[in-house]
Structure 1
Amino acid sequence: MQKKSDAVTLKSKKFINCLSSCDSISAWIPNILVFIAYIFLTIVFTYPVFFSKMVPGEADVHFYLWDLWWFKKSFMDLSSPYFTPYLFYPNGVNLAFSAITPFNGILSVPLQFIFGLTRTYTILWLLSFIISGYGTFLLVRYLSKNSKAAFVSGLIFMFSPYHFAHSLGHLNLLSIEWIPFYVLFFFKTIKEDNFKNSIYAAFFLLLVFLSEYTYAVYLCIFTAFFLLYYIFEDRNYIVNKNVIIKLFLMALSFSILVLPFAYPLLKELLLSKSSYMYSAGFVTYSADLLAFFVPSKFHPIFGQFVLPIYQNFTGNVAEFTVFAGYTVLILSMIAILRIRTKEVKFWALSTLVFFIFALGPLLHVNGLFTGTIENINFAVPLPYAIIMKIPIISIARVPSRWDAIVMLNLSVLAGYGLSYLYNRLEKRSFWDISASNYLMIVFAALILFEFLAVPYPVANMEIPEFYNSLSEDPEDYAIFEVPNIGYLAFPEYMYYQTLHEKKILTGYTHIPESSMKFVINTPYINLFFTSGDYDKYLNVSRDIFNQNITEVGPSILNYYNIKYIILHENLMSKEELSFIQKLLDNSLSTDPTYYKNDSMIVYEIMPSEETSFFIPGDGWYGLEYFNGVPSRWMSSNATLIIFSEKNYSSVLRFDAMSFNCSRTLNIAVDSSGVSGIKVPSRLITAEIPLELHKGENFVQFKVIGASERPCDIPWLNSADDRELSIAIQNITITNKTFRE
């Protein structure tokens, strides 16, 4: 009898476990249905993205396609994704602060093998909508305990005009999907005893950091504001041993997780000579007060009516689109006015704080941020005028991007407001359907209509045929794409590189000074970044050297292994095209190839007879003119690169002048054979013997005697704070004698 009883007990336990398992599965069914609903709505309300072979967005999308390609390539080559030799050749460029998005890059690697580059981008783009909606749903359901309200809140965050605006081409900024997950598990860390929530919060903050590090900064400030609020509102809620331990665990976990990814940024920030602190753009890219209440210009109905208003705003469409939605604002006000709890009060204050941050350092109203009263100009300063000076905020630069946090706050408040209305109608029904269901449908429809952005812009990613032939060439060389935007490439050039995989001389990234030096200082190359008076700019490109720039041009191109110069006619003015073609026709012996369908002119650089030439190395200040003669100052040390086609015994001749007092200038070639000359504070001509070997020769100039700043000399009355010692001009090689 005992054995039979034990058997019955065992079967009962199995049955109970089975029921528990079924309950666990059934508990997930609403979540699965919500996720499927968000997938469906994303497909519909981003039409035609899902169905198109083209890529959603425009402009910067080319950079982010390159970014995904580069992560895959660096992964395959086992190299760091934070530095690439493929841009700003031959120096390469550090990508730590170039808006790369490591989360998307890492996730894209396996996807690219399956779907290819452009389709992978579209998948990541669509996922940002689906996951951000689902994360907001989980957050608001946890806070409000109302699934219907949470579902509508998810729609607000995922389809916010801010999200649609940055989806035009900012893969990093459209990746808002992990923000609500961090906030959810941060709140769970505070409220619940489970220490796992601290780890989860740290993990999702890491995903935010890897998607867009400025969002992680925003969330750290959000976290600090939450803690500060509750220290004043309910001190015991925060200041207790259990919460402090969990917060410490969260901070420690995040620090450990983020360190390998933050290290390249910290290293570049602390050790690089380049400054990543922006001194401009804060005012231009501030959100306009009116923009929060003007429907998006992407709206298929309202867009045409609000376009004249948007034309008044400063910045660009991606940055000045911050429409909050009338329905969202009404629901948020219901929550603030009708639910008098410290939780809702926190979300209201948080919305206000980050809204003020988004407005930037000066208040903009309809594009105006200055005014006049009785002939006196004035502006309305805001707290961001102080906050923007914090280094990490300075790197972020664009105040309007705080709207990502504003929209999350409004999503939560709207959820509270809807929950309040649902509770009021809980016992009412029509045709046996709860009134709350009708209310959910009505508010969801209103929000979707206000945020409507269909058809969403898509871009054709076809690559000109010429680059296919480059991709088939296994030879390693660089190509020079012309024109450029200052020293920045058009982003299309980077996208073309994903096919041809040849190095290019520029790039569409944040440019450290070390990466710009080549195109700024290299004779002949720097001519392609100017246009106008041909003879005048030949003199500029000559720099401080006596050399015929059109004669040495081919040698410089061959020396740096630049095989093709590609002119994009459709991106050039007639004057610019004429200038560049005249330069190339006078220096190259080959005729160009015309690709009329792609508006391209291609010059192939053929091997030519080598000619000696000069290139400035490190340590020189910018080019200036003494009585019309190109000259450069140095501080203490500078280098000169001389390429010689043969071994020569020669004489190096140049003009020199010391600043304010006499100094000694020591000169060595490849660190040997030091010669010293006394340089007074007037212009002299110096000559020193020079033994050149075939190929590259490094001439080192070293000044004996301290440099001085013009601003420190009272009688000069100068604001120039450069450390100056000796200026050089008219460098030439004479008396060349061939030697074996």
Structure 2
Amino acid sequence: MRARSHLIVIAFFALLAILSTYPLIARFSTHVIGDSKLDNYEYVWKMWWFPHALTSGLSPFTIPTLYFPYGYSLAYGEITPLHTVFMTPFTLLFGEIVSYNLSVIGSTILTGWLTFLLARRWYLRLEGEFTPRLIPLAALFAGAAFAFSLYRQHRLAGHLPLLDTQWLALSIFAFDRWLAQRRLRDAALTAAAVSLSALSSWYYAFMLLLLLPVYTAAYGLNWRGLLTDGRTWRSLLIAAAIVGVLCLPFLLPYLQVAGEGAATIPVEDAAFWAASPTDYLVPNPLHPLWGTLVRPVIWPFPSPMITEFLTSIGLATLVLGLYGSRRTRGKSWRALKWLIAAAFVLSLGPYLTLSRLPLGIPLPDLLLREMLPAADGIRSWGRFSVFVMLGFSLLGGAGLLLAVGSAGARLPGRRAQIAAAGVVALMLFESWTGPTPTVRVEPRLVDLWLAEQPSAAPIMEFPLSAALSGPGMYYTRFHGKPVTYGYGTYLPLLYVERHPALLGFPDGASIDQLVEWGVQYVLVTVNALDYEGFTLQDVTAQPRLEFVIRLGEVEVYTIR
């Protein structure tokens, strides 16, 4: 494949990425994707924090002014070094908002392109009655189906580490080549791809650790020949060296947090955040035309739907993928199908649920939590669905190639190409989630006011949902005060476990805790009280709190 052809494919995915996220391109330096301020703010803050810490001579991993007076470890959540560290030059040149948005758009382009390359390599080996000119279109289908899958689409609003799905496609591409030829360069590329996956999200490192052995077992190797081949052991040494050098420095903070017993997720939480079989089968629940009709299948409750459960494969990709599964043969395809099956089972969590209704049937994840280190720290097993989506994207492209190719035997070549292009367009329309919302990244009025106050005493914010949040982290950049809270995968659970008195705010016990920490200002975010156990009237009735000022939706109190 010539360089010009690569550039055309990259330009295709770049255009789709820009169009699908419009109007972000027109607000690239001021806004991020999302209809609210959530995890998007957390990762914008982290992308600012690392360069700031490194250029200020501070430790980037431990921050004493967050979760004061105990100190905050970034390992309470995703450090995502690929963005926070390796994007530092872009952050220093253009600022953290542009750097964040480049990461989002870039991950979509790379996911499409690398999946295209993987699909094209496999489709060239397919047997069937089709013209070779259909292969690029089928590979474009696979790349677009994965790059614009619902798994990725809803994560554009803030799950930055999980957007780097391009390294998963590269891992399969390189590992499959190594299994076929056992070249050292393929071992090095596999190790680099796995490392980049880990440096994006430790979730992906854990998934690859479980799924690549499944892929290997299903590939159909001569195990005696594999184990007696010197290239195997040289490849393992090279891979271990690459992964160790790239990943170990960033793994150490997590080992420290795990040693404190702070990286364990209760099994009830792990079961709640798991996928349901029905999640895969429904049409796109975010589609403007039919989304409201199918949403109750995956979220049968009156409260707003939690987007973590959006793992729909899409009808076009599902149907073509099932057809492709029947028609494809060979070691790589067999290994891929076993990988999909394993990822599907693992995505269901420790106990089976059906449309969020628990059935209480234990699943393999429950055993893995007991057997594997770090498995009890996995909150969302449903994220294994990313490999189901990757697999069905590849099978769907193969199904398109074989189906249209068979029809093309009776049609002129041009009509077969038009039919294939029409299916690609149909799949993209089905994956559409409507206009992309964006939110401005900026401080609140209260943050600017706090920055002007001379006191260096710590502050606290209520409700806890406002404090233990991505925006709560980001705003510290502007007011510069110590805060007695933080955010991350593990900290919200630990926080209420360690400081239960704060759950009773504004009662006396909660005020006593704040006094013990030396808190001066207490912020109350008024528009976040709808689902809380206290009202603004309860706050004003607390005699130990004195009203100072209201700025926007935040009221400021001092402790008497």
**Given the two structures, how large is their TM-score scaled by the length of structure 2?**
0.87
Counterpart residue identity of residue 56, structure 1:
I
1:340 aligns to what SS in structure 2? Answer: coil
Aligned to 2:48: 69
Aligned to 1:593: 549
- Provide the identity percentage: 24
Counterpart residue identity of residue 294, structure 2:
V
How far residue 575 of structure 1 moved from its aligned partner, in angstroms, is: 4.3
2:523 aligns to what SS in structure 1? Answer: strand
Going from structure 1 to structure 2, the CA distance change for 1:284 and 1:529 (only over 3 Å counts) comes to closer
1:316-715 correspondence runs (5 A): 317-370=306-359, 379-389=360-370, 390-421=372-403, 423-424=405-406, 430=412, 434-471=414-451, 476-485=456-465, 489-510=468-489, 516=495, 520=499, 529-531=503-505, 537=508, 553=515, 560=518, 562-572=519-529, 575-583=534-542, 585-586=543-544, 592-595=548-551, 598-603=552-557
Kept in 2: contact 1:102–1:211 (CA 8 A): yes
5+ residue gaps, structure 2, are: 125-134
Aligned to 1:730: none
Matched, 1:102 2:81: yes
CA distance in 1, matches of 2:463, 2:332: 55
Q: Which residue of 48, 60, 71 corresponds with 1:81?
A: 60
CA distance in 2, matches of 1:323, 1:133: 18
CA distance in 1, matches of 2:306, 2:168: 23
How far residue 428 of structure 1 moved from its aligned partner, in angstroms, is: 6.6
How far residue 315 of structure 1 moved from its aligned partner, in angstroms, is: 11
CA distance in 2, matches of 1:446, 1:438: 12
CA distance in 2, matches of 1:428, 1:240: 50
CA distance in 2, matches of 1:137, 1:122: 23
Q: Which has the higher strand share?
A: 1
1:175-190 correspondence runs (5 A): 175-190=164-179
Q: Which has the higher helix share?
A: 2
Aligned to 2:132: none
Going from structure 1 to structure 2, the CA distance change for 1:171 and 1:419 (only over 3 Å counts) comes to same
Q: Which residue of 31, 40, 43 corresponds with 1:54?
A: 31
Going from structure 1 to structure 2, the CA distance change for 1:334 and 1:362 (only over 3 Å counts) comes to same
CA distance in 1, matches of 2:315, 2:81: 35
Counterpart residue identity of residue 55, structure 1:
V
CA distance in 1, matches of 2:391, 2:225: 21
Tell which deviates more after alignment, 356-365 or 420-429: 420-429
1:207 aligns to what SS in structure 2? Answer: helix
How far residue 511 of structure 1 moved from its aligned partner, in angstroms, is: 5.2
1:134-283 correspondence runs (5 A): 134-145=113-124, 146-192=135-181, 194-230=183-219, 234-235=222-223, 238-241=226-229, 242-270=231-259, 272-283=260-271
Going from structure 1 to structure 2, the CA distance change for 1:245 and 1:427 (only over 3 Å counts) comes to farther
Tell which deviates more after alignment, 127-136 or 94-103: 94-103
Aligned to 1:673: none
CA distance in 2, matches of 1:40, 1:514: 41
Listed one character per residue, the Cα deviations across residues 260-311 of structure 1 (whole Å, up to 9, x for unaligned) are: 12122223323x2535343331221121111111122221211122233233
Listed one character per residue, the Cα deviations across residues 592-619 of structure 1 (whole Å, up to 9, x for unaligned) are: 1222xx122223679xxxxxxxxxxxxx
CA distance in 2, matches of 1:529, 1:283: 24
CA distance in 2, matches of 1:176, 1:96: 21
**Given the two structures, how large is their TM-score scaled by the length of structure 1?**
0.67
CA distance in 1, matches of 2:80, 2:247: 14
- Whichever of the two has the greater Rg, that structure is 1
How far residue 363 of structure 1 moved from its aligned partner, in angstroms, is: 2.7
Aligned to 1:711: none
How far residue 210 of structure 1 moved from its aligned partner, in angstroms, is: 0.8
How far residue 321 of structure 1 moved from its aligned partner, in angstroms, is: 0.6
5+ residue gaps, structure 1, are: 1-25, 371-378, 544-548, 607-740
CA distance in 2, matches of 1:235, 1:425: 41
Kept in 2: contact 1:74–1:81 (CA 8 A): yes
How far residue 239 of structure 1 moved from its aligned partner, in angstroms, is: 4.2
Aligned to 1:309: 297
Listed one character per residue, the Cα deviations across residues 480-501 of structure 1 (whole Å, up to 9, x for unaligned) are: 2232139x52432222222223
Kept in 2: contact 1:85–1:92 (CA 8 A): yes
Kept in 1: contact 2:76–2:487 (CA 8 A): no
2:353 aligns to what SS in structure 1? Answer: coil
Counterpart residue identity of residue 460, structure 1:
R
Counterpart residue identity of residue 459, structure 1:
V
How far residue 351 of structure 1 moved from its aligned partner, in angstroms, is: 1.1
Kept in 1: contact 2:42–2:469 (CA 8 A): no
Q: Which residue of 130, 147, 162 corresponds with 2:109?
A: 130
CA distance in 2, matches of 1:467, 1:316: 31
CA distance in 1, matches of 2:57, 2:307: 35
Aligned to 2:131: none
Going from structure 1 to structure 2, the CA distance change for 1:447 and 1:493 (only over 3 Å counts) comes to same
Kept in 1: contact 2:284–2:314 (CA 8 A): no
Aligned to 1:629: none
Going from structure 1 to structure 2, the CA distance change for 1:447 and 1:236 (only over 3 Å counts) comes to farther
Kept in 2: contact 1:285–1:315 (CA 8 A): no
1:480 aligns to what SS in structure 2? Answer: strand
Going from structure 1 to structure 2, the CA distance change for 1:177 and 1:317 (only over 3 Å counts) comes to farther
Tell which deviates more after alignment, 55-64 or 238-247: 238-247
Aligned to 2:129: none
Aligned residues: 541
1:380 aligns to what SS in structure 2? Answer: strand
Going from structure 1 to structure 2, the CA distance change for 1:490 and 1:195 (only over 3 Å counts) comes to closer
Going from structure 1 to structure 2, the CA distance change for 1:85 and 1:333 (only over 3 Å counts) comes to same
Kept in 2: contact 1:93–1:512 (CA 8 A): no
Counterpart residue identity of residue 290, structure 1:
T
Matched, 1:38 2:9: no
CA distance in 1, matches of 2:295, 2:497: 42
CA distance in 2, matches of 1:474, 1:222: 54
CA distance in 2, matches of 1:284, 1:143: 37
Going from structure 1 to structure 2, the CA distance change for 1:279 and 1:483 (only over 3 Å counts) comes to same
Going from structure 1 to structure 2, the CA distance change for 1:349 and 1:497 (only over 3 Å counts) comes to same
Kept in 2: contact 1:351–1:409 (CA 8 A): yes
Kept in 2: contact 1:274–1:513 (CA 8 A): no
Aligned to 2:276: 288
